[in-house]
Amino acid sequence: MCGIAGKIYLKSGKIDERDLALMSDKIAHRGPDDQGIYISPDRKVGLVHRRLAIIDLSAAGHQPMTYKNRYWITFNGEIYNFWAERKKLEKYGYKFKSKSDTEVILALYDKWGVKCVDHLRGMFAFAIYDIQKQTVFLARDRVGKKPLKYFFNSEIFAFASELKALLILPEIKAEPDTGVLETYLAYGYVPAPQTGFKNIYKLEPGHYLTLDLKHKTLNKHCYWEIDFTKKLDLSENEWKTQILQTLEESTRLRMISDVPIGAFLSGGVDSSSIVAMMAKLSAKPIKTFTIGFSETQYDESKYAQIVSDIFHTQHTVLQVKPGSVDILPELAGQFEEPFADNSALVTYLVSKLARQYVTVILNGDGGDENFTGYAHHLKLQRDYLLSPLAKYFPVGRYLKSLHHGVLEKYFEYKTHFNFENPKNVYRSAYQNAKAADIRDKILSADFKYYLPDDLLAKVDLASMKAALECRSPLLDYKMAELAAQIPFALKVKRNCAKYIFKKSLEDLLPKEILHRPKMGFSIPLSKWFSQELNPYARSILLDKKSHINNVYPKNQIAQMLDEHSEKNDFGPQLWKLLMLELWWKNYFQ
């Protein structure tokens, strides 16, 4: 797990090593163990690498790495099947100098070209410079675990794990892209390829870029996307077997490490399933970490303790209080795009806690997306089943609302600011989804945007700020493909979300974990905005120099702050406005 960056001149410029050093400094938190710089002989191409050593801790894993004196790579991520791919390559006559997955990527590229991505099982973002062909190949993993952001014009191409490494370059000016602010306020994040900055983009999951230095052209290609059209007709017992086998394999692959490893444990179904599987696969007690709140309706620590007791983990709990918001300006800077997932705060805090004990963490991310675990998935199923009846009840308030369609109802569940333009993002994804069922179409849209641009961005930026590697067995692409083949009726059944996943885990986890109410991984916004967070937000949002006044009426913000209570909850709206203002102060003042 590392940080990568690079700068490439397309015309008359020459690489200045000081620029690369500054880029490296901006992502130093992602890789405190080692750093490296490569500059091509013609000084047109510069690559940067920061290393967090996980596999092959020797100097042989140093990057940027070369292969056959032709290719140079800077790589961020982990390839879990690299040993299997290495053995295949050795049969073709390939030889290796290290025990690293990085060298295997280079050999795969030499053998298969851009098709090398089809052979990779893991999380990755990398750039490969081919000296002979004068091309640069950049790729991002299928679901978007690892970030890749870039800038391109007629003069230069630049890329980095975090866009803050791009903003230090003299050719790149930090300009806000105000056209995406409504979308941010609607969803709480900026959907790819936009970033919130003009002319800086993020590569979508399952895509790669090819840069031709001779012709000064940049092309983007999609090599993978989630497909819900290949449903399988299996019995519940057959599904349970398939799910458990895939879960065990994906967990085992992610336990390969040359450094200490642990797990985040909320006590929910997803993280508990990972801990259960890790305990099965490990001869030593698993180290687990969780967040606790004094507000009982948000506190899951008692459930985490139950799971810890069952599997005899070495468990550590961090209690989070409202005073933790003091780090919000720093956090807004780290997240670098407008970003309002409030669980980013606790994700960062629990990452800092875990990093005191381990370097690698497994988590339960992806369970809700694969198996429909959110409250809005239950509502989606309800609306889907009732929508045919709507035309017979034109005056009923609820049934009349179904006339708007399941997708339109979904917007109501997902957003707190009712803007029309942001809906087009989801409408487009919905219309182009590889799915026949309307419910799968909406899941596909979430998989395309919410998963990588909110959930995975949060985990990557929060954990890497603490120099902690996070791995997600439930987001193994084979698990995602398997889950997409499950009929929706087995995901939500008899008003039970994640039905078939929970059935699969009945022999591993107790009923009090499998069937407890879902709490969600978030901070108590409604209560905090009734207490310490209210005056803090007021001082930021109602300041005369506040930029937010150009985006949203100050009198309405003041009204929300005045009228907010736990019953009259404006917490989500106020949080989005607050984080937008803190982002603006970080980058444009």
How many Å apart are CA 379 and CA 406, to the nearest integer?
10
Whether 304 and 393 map to the same domain: the answer is no
Which pLDDT band holds residue 109 (cuts at 50, 70, 90)?
A: very high
Domain-terminating residue out of 514, 540, 555: 514
Question: What whole-number percentage of the chain has pLDDT above 90?
Answer: 77
pLDDT, residue 411, reads 83
How many Å apart are CA 335 and CA 124, to the nearest integer?
19
Q: Is the pLDDT of residue 144 over 80?
A: yes
Q: Is the pLDDT of residue 395 over 60?
A: no
Whether 392 and 352 map to the same domain: the answer is no
pLDDT, residue 520, reads 62
Q: Is the pLDDT of residue 388 over 80?
A: no
- Average pLDDT of 359-373? 95
**What CATH number should be reported for the domain holding residue 321?**
3.40.50.620
Domain assignment present for 301:
yes
What's the Rg (C-alpha) of the chain?
Answer: 24
Domain-terminating residue out of 489, 514, 539: 514
Numbered residues of the known binding site: 101, 291
Question: What whole-number percentage of the chain has pLDDT above 70?
Answer: 95
- Average pLDDT of 423-444? 92
How many Å apart are CA 322 and CA 340, to the nearest integer?
17
Q: What is the pLDDT of residues 545-570, one digit of tens each?
A: 999 988 899 999 999 999 999 889 99
Domain assignment present for 211:
yes
- Average pLDDT of 196-222? 98
Whether 458 and 341 map to the same domain: the answer is yes
How many Å apart are CA 145 and CA 268, to the nearest integer?
21
pLDDT, residue 521, reads 65
Whether 136 and 156 map to the same domain: the answer is yes
Domain assignment present for 82:
yes
Whether 186 and 332 map to the same domain: the answer is no
Structurally, the chain folds into a number of domains equal to 4
Q: Is the pLDDT of residue 227 over 70?
A: yes
- Average pLDDT of 51-72? 84
- Average pLDDT of 428-441? 92
Sheet of strand 65-67: strand arrangement = 65-67, 71-79, 122-130, 135-140, 207-212, 217-222
pLDDT, residue 392, reads 61
The catalytic residue among 2, 222, 470, 496 is: 2
- Average pLDDT of 435-453? 94
Give the helix, strand, coil percentages of the chain, each rounded to 5: 45, 15, 35
Numbered residues of the known binding site for L-glutamine: 101
Q: Is the pLDDT of residue 587 over 70?
A: yes
What the block records as the tokens of 137 is 């190949």
Helix (H, G, I), strand (E, B) or coil at 110: helix
Q: Is the pLDDT of residue 120 over 60?
A: yes
Numbered residues of the known binding site for ATP: 291
Residue 5 β-bridge partners: 48, 160
Longest dimension (CA), the chain: 74
pTM of the model: 0.94
Kindly tell me the burial class for residue 283, based on how many C-beta atoms sit within 10 Å of its own C-beta (0-12, 13-18, 19 or more).
exposed
Whether 274 and 193 map to the same domain: the answer is no
Domain assignment present for 147:
yes
Q: Is the pLDDT of residue 101 over 60?
A: yes
Whether 145 and 253 map to the same domain: the answer is no
pLDDT, residue 177, reads 96
| pLDDT top residue among 227 and 395 | 227
Domain assignment present for 227:
no
Whether 29 and 102 map to the same domain: the answer is yes
Which pLDDT band holds residue 56 (cuts at 50, 70, 90)?
A: low
pLDDT, residue 517, reads 79
pLDDT, residue 299, reads 78
Q: What is the pLDDT of residues 124-138, one digit of tens each?
A: 999 999 999 999 999
Whether 36 and 164 map to the same domain: the answer is yes
Whether 299 and 441 map to the same domain: the answer is no
Q: Is the pLDDT of residue 386 over 80?
A: no
CA 220 to chain centre: 21
Domain assignment present for 288:
yes
CB 145 within 8 A of CB 126: no
Whether 486 and 532 map to the same domain: the answer is no
Render the burial of 475-487: b for 16+ CB within 10 Å, e for the rest.
bbbebbbbbbbbb
Say how many CA atoms lie within 13 Å of 143 toward its Cβ: 29
Q: Which domain holds residue 66?
A: 2-222
- Average pLDDT of 230-242? 97
- Average pLDDT of 342-360? 93
Domain-terminating residue out of 413, 447, 481: 447
**What CATH number should be reported for the domain holding residue 35?**
3.60.20.10
pLDDT, residue 14, reads 96
CB 253 within 8 A of CB 277: no
Q: Whole-number mean pLDDT of the chain?
A: 92
Q: Is the pLDDT of residue 42 over 90?
A: yes
Whether 422 and 319 map to the same domain: the answer is no
Domain assignment present for 230:
no
2 tagged catalytic = yes
Domain assignment present for 520:
no
Of 163-167, 369-373, 473-477, 515-519, which range is least confident? 515-519
Cβ count near 235 (within 10 Å): 8
Report which residue type is found at 541. Answer: L
| pLDDT top residue among 161 and 323 | 161
pLDDT, residue 415, reads 85
Residue 79 β-bridge partners: 122
